[in-house]
Amino acid sequence: MIRKVVQDATEAVQGLKDNMTLMLGGFGLCGIPENSIIAIRESGVKGLTCISNNAGVDDFGLGLLLQTRQIKKMISSYVGENDLFEKQMLSGELEVELIPQGTLAERCRATGAGIPAFYTPAGYGTEVAQGKEVRWFNGKPHILEHAFTPDFAFVKAWKGDEAGNLIFKGTARNFNPLMAMAGKITVAEVEELVPAGQLDPNFIHTPGIFVQRIFQGVNYEKRIEQRTVRAAAS
Protein backbone atom coordinates (compact mmCIF):
# COMPACT_ATOMS: atom_id res chain seq x y z
CA MET A 1 0.00 0.00 0.00
CA ILE A 2 1.29 3.47 -0.89
CA ARG A 3 2.22 5.33 2.28
CA LYS A 4 0.19 8.53 2.43
CA VAL A 5 0.70 9.56 6.05
CA VAL A 6 2.92 12.61 6.55
CA GLN A 7 4.16 13.87 9.87
CA ASP A 8 2.46 17.25 9.97
CA ALA A 9 1.14 20.17 7.95
CA THR A 10 4.63 21.44 7.15
CA GLU A 11 5.48 18.20 5.39
CA ALA A 12 2.04 18.10 3.77
CA VAL A 13 2.55 21.39 1.90
CA GLN A 14 5.89 20.39 0.38
CA GLY A 15 5.91 21.19 -3.32
CA LEU A 16 3.86 24.37 -3.05
CA LYS A 17 5.15 27.08 -5.36
CA ASP A 18 4.33 30.68 -6.15
CA ASN A 19 1.33 31.34 -8.42
CA MET A 20 -0.31 27.95 -7.85
CA THR A 21 -4.07 27.40 -7.65
CA LEU A 22 -5.36 25.91 -4.41
CA MET A 23 -8.73 24.55 -3.33
CA LEU A 24 -9.57 24.86 0.37
CA GLY A 25 -12.60 23.10 1.83
CA GLY A 26 -15.02 24.24 4.49
CA PHE A 27 -18.15 26.31 4.92
CA GLY A 28 -17.71 29.54 6.80
CA LEU A 29 -15.24 28.54 9.50
CA CYS A 30 -16.63 25.01 9.73
CA GLY A 31 -14.46 22.23 8.35
CA ILE A 32 -11.64 24.45 7.14
CA PRO A 33 -8.11 22.98 6.94
CA GLU A 34 -6.76 25.14 9.77
CA ASN A 35 -3.37 23.45 10.10
CA SER A 36 -2.73 23.49 6.36
CA ILE A 37 -3.55 27.20 6.07
CA ILE A 38 -1.02 28.03 8.78
CA ALA A 39 1.60 25.88 7.03
CA ILE A 40 0.87 27.62 3.71
CA ARG A 41 1.38 30.98 5.42
CA GLU A 42 4.66 29.84 6.95
CA SER A 43 5.88 28.48 3.61
CA GLY A 44 5.95 32.02 2.23
CA VAL A 45 4.52 31.14 -1.19
CA LYS A 46 2.77 34.04 -2.88
CA GLY A 47 0.67 34.92 -5.90
CA LEU A 48 -1.84 32.20 -4.99
CA THR A 49 -5.26 31.72 -6.54
CA CYS A 50 -7.51 30.29 -3.83
CA ILE A 51 -10.81 28.54 -4.50
CA SER A 52 -12.98 28.43 -1.39
CA ASN A 53 -16.61 29.00 -0.50
CA ASN A 54 -15.54 31.93 1.66
CA ALA A 55 -12.41 33.83 2.66
CA GLY A 56 -12.39 33.25 6.40
CA VAL A 57 -12.39 36.20 8.79
CA ASP A 58 -9.79 38.89 9.34
CA ASP A 59 -7.55 36.88 11.67
CA PHE A 60 -8.48 33.27 10.97
CA GLY A 61 -8.81 30.85 8.08
CA LEU A 62 -7.88 32.34 4.72
CA GLY A 63 -7.86 35.73 6.39
CA LEU A 64 -4.36 34.78 7.58
CA LEU A 65 -3.15 34.53 3.98
CA LEU A 66 -4.81 37.82 3.09
CA GLN A 67 -2.95 39.47 5.97
CA THR A 68 0.38 38.38 4.51
CA ARG A 69 -0.65 39.32 0.95
CA GLN A 70 -0.03 35.77 -0.29
CA ILE A 71 -3.34 35.54 -2.18
CA LYS A 72 -3.48 37.15 -5.63
CA LYS A 73 -6.98 36.00 -6.54
CA MET A 74 -9.97 34.65 -4.63
CA ILE A 75 -12.64 32.51 -6.30
CA SER A 76 -15.50 32.37 -3.82
CA SER A 77 -19.20 32.54 -3.24
CA TYR A 78 -19.56 34.34 0.11
CA VAL A 79 -17.06 36.77 1.60
CA GLY A 80 -19.17 38.99 3.85
CA GLU A 81 -17.36 38.24 7.12
CA ASN A 82 -13.95 39.56 6.10
CA ASP A 83 -13.25 43.29 6.27
CA LEU A 84 -9.69 42.88 5.01
CA PHE A 85 -11.00 41.03 1.95
CA GLU A 86 -13.33 43.95 1.23
CA LYS A 87 -10.55 46.52 1.55
CA GLN A 88 -8.18 44.61 -0.73
CA MET A 89 -10.91 44.02 -3.30
CA LEU A 90 -12.06 47.64 -3.41
CA SER A 91 -8.48 48.90 -3.66
CA GLY A 92 -7.78 46.58 -6.59
CA GLU A 93 -5.07 44.77 -4.66
CA LEU A 94 -7.01 41.50 -4.73
CA GLU A 95 -8.57 39.99 -7.84
CA VAL A 96 -11.97 38.46 -7.06
CA GLU A 97 -14.28 36.10 -8.93
CA LEU A 98 -17.62 35.74 -7.17
CA ILE A 99 -19.63 32.66 -8.17
CA PRO A 100 -23.13 31.48 -7.20
CA GLN A 101 -22.69 28.88 -4.48
CA GLY A 102 -24.28 26.04 -6.43
CA THR A 103 -22.15 26.81 -9.46
CA LEU A 104 -19.02 26.84 -7.32
CA ALA A 105 -19.91 23.43 -5.89
CA GLU A 106 -20.66 22.01 -9.35
CA ARG A 107 -17.42 23.34 -10.81
CA CYS A 108 -15.58 21.54 -8.01
CA ARG A 109 -17.55 18.34 -8.60
CA ALA A 110 -17.04 18.54 -12.35
CA THR A 111 -13.29 18.80 -11.83
CA GLY A 112 -13.20 15.56 -9.85
CA ALA A 113 -15.57 13.81 -12.25
CA GLY A 114 -13.51 14.69 -15.33
CA ILE A 115 -16.20 16.95 -16.81
CA PRO A 116 -14.50 19.92 -18.51
CA ALA A 117 -17.53 22.22 -18.62
CA PHE A 118 -21.30 22.37 -18.17
CA TYR A 119 -24.26 24.68 -18.73
CA THR A 120 -26.28 26.20 -15.89
CA PRO A 121 -29.06 28.81 -15.71
CA ALA A 122 -27.60 30.29 -12.52
CA GLY A 123 -26.16 33.75 -13.08
CA TYR A 124 -27.73 34.42 -16.48
CA GLY A 125 -28.56 38.11 -16.88
CA THR A 126 -26.06 39.17 -14.20
CA GLU A 127 -22.37 40.13 -14.13
CA VAL A 128 -21.60 36.44 -13.58
CA ALA A 129 -22.54 35.76 -17.21
CA GLN A 130 -20.39 38.45 -18.80
CA GLY A 131 -18.18 37.04 -21.55
CA LYS A 132 -19.56 33.52 -21.23
CA GLU A 133 -21.20 31.42 -23.91
CA VAL A 134 -25.01 31.20 -23.69
CA ARG A 135 -27.17 28.35 -25.01
CA TRP A 136 -30.86 27.69 -24.69
CA PHE A 137 -32.25 24.44 -23.28
CA ASN A 138 -36.00 23.81 -22.98
CA GLY A 139 -36.67 27.47 -23.65
CA LYS A 140 -34.35 28.69 -20.91
CA PRO A 141 -30.94 30.40 -21.25
CA HIS A 142 -27.91 28.71 -19.72
CA ILE A 143 -24.32 29.92 -19.39
CA LEU A 144 -21.22 27.81 -19.90
CA GLU A 145 -19.10 27.22 -16.79
CA HIS A 146 -15.73 25.47 -16.76
CA ALA A 147 -14.23 23.02 -14.29
CA PHE A 148 -11.28 24.19 -12.21
CA THR A 149 -7.63 23.23 -12.58
CA PRO A 150 -6.23 23.22 -9.02
CA ASP A 151 -2.69 22.20 -8.24
CA PHE A 152 -3.52 21.29 -4.62
CA ALA A 153 -6.73 20.65 -2.70
CA PHE A 154 -6.66 21.01 1.09
CA VAL A 155 -9.52 19.42 3.03
CA LYS A 156 -10.35 18.74 6.64
CA ALA A 157 -12.15 15.60 7.84
CA TRP A 158 -13.36 14.26 11.16
CA LYS A 159 -11.75 10.84 10.79
CA GLY A 160 -9.38 9.31 8.29
CA ASP A 161 -7.24 6.22 7.95
CA GLU A 162 -3.72 5.64 6.74
CA ALA A 163 -5.03 4.74 3.27
CA GLY A 164 -6.61 8.18 2.92
CA ASN A 165 -10.26 7.18 3.39
CA LEU A 166 -12.19 10.08 4.95
CA ILE A 167 -15.32 10.63 7.03
CA PHE A 168 -16.69 14.16 7.38
CA LYS A 169 -18.96 15.36 10.15
CA GLY A 170 -21.99 17.64 9.97
CA THR A 171 -21.62 20.87 8.02
CA ALA A 172 -18.02 20.01 7.14
CA ARG A 173 -19.48 17.56 4.64
CA ASN A 174 -20.06 20.27 2.06
CA PHE A 175 -17.23 21.43 -0.18
CA ASN A 176 -14.67 19.10 1.38
CA PRO A 177 -15.72 15.86 -0.41
CA LEU A 178 -16.06 17.70 -3.72
CA MET A 179 -12.65 19.33 -3.45
CA ALA A 180 -10.99 16.14 -2.25
CA MET A 181 -11.76 14.60 -5.64
CA ALA A 182 -10.44 17.56 -7.60
CA GLY A 183 -6.84 18.28 -6.60
CA LYS A 184 -3.85 17.06 -8.54
CA ILE A 185 -2.49 16.59 -5.04
CA THR A 186 -5.11 16.31 -2.29
CA VAL A 187 -3.99 16.90 1.29
CA ALA A 188 -6.34 15.79 4.06
CA GLU A 189 -5.95 16.80 7.66
CA VAL A 190 -8.07 14.88 10.15
CA GLU A 191 -9.02 15.15 13.79
CA GLU A 192 -8.45 11.43 14.29
CA LEU A 193 -6.15 9.23 12.21
CA VAL A 194 -6.62 5.46 12.51
CA PRO A 195 -4.96 2.41 10.92
CA ALA A 196 -6.28 1.25 7.54
CA GLY A 197 -9.24 -1.08 7.90
CA GLN A 198 -10.71 0.48 11.05
CA LEU A 199 -13.28 2.67 9.30
CA ASP A 200 -16.61 1.11 8.36
CA PRO A 201 -16.66 1.16 4.52
CA ASN A 202 -20.38 2.02 4.61
CA PHE A 203 -19.65 5.35 6.27
CA ILE A 204 -16.68 6.52 4.20
CA HIS A 205 -17.47 9.71 2.29
CA THR A 206 -14.24 10.06 0.30
CA PRO A 207 -12.33 6.93 -0.83
CA GLY A 208 -8.60 7.03 -0.28
CA ILE A 209 -7.90 6.83 -4.03
CA PHE A 210 -8.46 10.61 -4.16
CA VAL A 211 -6.07 11.47 -1.32
CA GLN A 212 -2.30 11.68 -1.72
CA ARG A 213 -1.29 12.99 1.73
CA ILE A 214 -2.94 12.72 5.13
CA PHE A 215 -1.98 13.80 8.65
CA GLN A 216 -3.57 14.24 12.05
CA GLY A 217 -4.13 17.90 12.82
CA VAL A 218 -3.67 19.65 16.16
CA ASN A 219 -5.07 22.58 18.16
CA TYR A 220 -8.33 23.05 16.28
CA GLU A 221 -10.09 26.25 17.33
CA LYS A 222 -13.44 25.60 15.59
CA ARG A 223 -14.46 29.22 15.76
CA ILE A 224 -17.99 30.46 15.16
CA GLU A 225 -18.31 33.51 12.88
CA GLN A 226 -21.36 34.97 14.57
CA ARG A 227 -22.59 33.56 17.84
CA THR A 228 -26.28 34.19 18.45
CA VAL A 229 -27.85 33.23 21.76
CA ARG A 230 -31.16 33.83 23.46
CA ALA A 231 -31.42 35.97 26.56
CA ALA A 232 -31.55 34.06 29.83
CA ALA A 233 -35.02 33.42 31.18
CA SER A 234 -35.97 35.80 33.97
Q: Residue 22's Cα: distance from chain center in Å?
A: 8
* Average pLDDT value for residue range 223-232: 80
Q: Can you name the residues that pair with 124 across neighbouring β-strands?
A: none
The answer to whether 38 touches 12, Cβ cutoff 8 Å, is no
Confidence at residue 224, expressed as pLDDT on a 0 to 100 scale: 75
Share of the chain above pLDDT 70, in %: 99
Domains of the chain (ranges; CATH) run 9-216 (3.40.1080.10)
Confidence at residue 223, expressed as pLDDT on a 0 to 100 scale: 78
Confidence at residue 56, expressed as pLDDT on a 0 to 100 scale: 87
Where does the pLDDT of residue 1 fall: very low under 50, low under 70, confident under 90, or very high at 90 and above? low
* Distances in whole angstroms, Cα of residue 187 to Cα of each of 4, 28, 52, 139: 9, 19, 15, 42
Query: What is the per-residue pLDDT across 51-108, written as a single tens digit (0 to 9) for each?
Result: 999 888 888 999 999 999 999 999 999 877 788 988 999 999 999 999 999 999 999 9
